[in-house]
Structure 1
Amino acid sequence: MTNSTRSGKRDRLAGAAVRVLHEQGVEKTTLADIARAADVPVGNVYYYFKTKDQLIEAAIAAHGHHLESVIATLERLPTPQERLKALVHSWVEQRDLAAKYGCPTGTLASELDKRDDGLDRAIAKVMGELLGWMERQFAAMGREDARELAVALMAAYQGISLLTNTFRDPALMEMEGHRLERWIDSLA
């Protein structure tokens, strides 16, 4: 087996872990569920990950890589205001998924917080990266209250994700997205 084949299966398992953990939750998810979703024989999972916690760590890393990719795409936009609004738009595009399962990163953070294994700190680091990026955007807009604004934006998104999921109503996310875009415009 070549290194790229190994890396491909490992990445498939990590990606499947992200999906299955989001859809089923940490406690209900088994290694067999993830293997099935990745189309990898369950016995092969142990070659890449010895425990479910190692797979959760890989899922957290995948969340981090996805965030890096999103930020790299947003950074191509010319102004911090446009970047923040594009971030909000990307959240709104995921409204159907949020209605079914909530925010992928937020729900994982909430579940991991109930455990005593430190994985909650790893997902908090990923969320902290997004918070820091948002803070830098608000600061680039000349806002001295950039940290407060970043926290408010993150809180608004996490809150609307919870409500969208609770009421199974994607329109709530869309409505809040429009409000957040107007709010960002008002801060410029």
Structure 2
Amino acid sequence: MSTDNSRNQILDAAQTLFYQRGFHATSISDIANKAGVFKGNLAYYFKSKQSLLQAVADNRLAQLEETLAGFANFATPRERLSAFIGMVEDTRKNLARHGCPMGSLSTEIGKTSLPKEHTRALLDYCLNWLHGEFNKIEPKSAKQHAETLLAMAQGTALLAHNFNNEELVRRQCQAMHQWLRVITD
């Protein structure tokens, strides 16, 4: 197994387990087992569980950047914002089962003494992207609309997870689409 491959397997395992179980409920042994590597190998790539958390947050941020950059294929800000809502709906099964990967991790880390900048960067990036899109439509209300849409998406994820209900995500995404039409017409 190559060095890059081992590191990526560890990172993927940690990302999955932190999302499904939470950072604190996931042990280094759990990650090693899921990655199919010896526990000692983790220390070669990541000095601590905290450095692994940083790498997971950085990886999630890169994935988010790539996803949102892909929305540039849509012609208008409204279409790009609609695609954002579609992204939430497309993940409804995971949201119902595990909550929002960004919001859950950010909330969990926010209650500790661990540095928050890495997990906060995910929500900051999302909020700034939304703000930029709304700014192209209505600069005066862009910040408020960006915060509202992110809050709706995060609230939807929280409720869906709490009730383990995919249909709740579908209904709330329909409501988000309707809200978007009202404020952009």
Q: What TM-score range do you get, normalising by the shorter chain?
A: over 0.9
The answer to whether 1:165 aligns with 2:124 is: no
Deviations 1:84-143 (CA, angstroms, capped at 9, x unpaired): 11111111111111111100010000000111121x222112210110000010011134
Alpha-carbon distance between aligned partners in 1 of 2:133 and 2:20, rounded to the nearest angstrom: 31
Residue 121 of structure 1 corresponds to: 117
- RMSD (Å), alpha carbons: 1.3
Question: Counterpart of 1:98 in structure 2: which amino acid?
Answer: L
**Deviation, structure 1 residue 146:** 0.3
Q: 2:68 aligns with which of 51, 68, 71?
A: 71
Aligned residue in 2 for 1:8: 5
Hey, what does 2:177 align to over in structure 1?
181
CA distance in 1, matches of 2:113, 2:118: 12
Counterpart residue number, 1:38: 35
Counterpart of 2:133? 137
2:101 to 88, 100, 104: 104
* Secondary structure of 2:140 counterpart: coil
Q: How does 1:54-69 map to 2 (within 5 A)?
A: 54-69=51-66
Aligned pairs, how many? 184
Q: Say whether 1:51 aligns with 2:79.
A: no
Residues 152-183 of structure 1, C-alpha deviation per residue, up to 9 Å, x if partnerless? 00101111111001111110111000111111
Deviation at 1:7, TM superposition (A): 2.3
The DSSP-based 3-state class of the residue aligned with 1:27 is: coil
Give me the whole-angstrom Cα distance separating, in 2, the residues matched to 1:12 and 1:65: 17
Please, what TM-score do these two structures have when normalized by structure 2? 0.95
Aligned to 2:77: 80
Q: Which amino acid aligns with 1:165?
A: H
| TM-score (norm: length of structure 1) | 0.93
State how far apart, in whole Å, the 2-side matches of 1:10 and 1:91 are: 29
Partner amino acid for 1:146? A
SS at match of 1:28: coil
Unmatched 5+ residue regions in structure 2? none
Which structure 1 segments of 5+ residues have no match?
A: none
Partners of 2:108 and 2:172 in 1: how far apart? 25
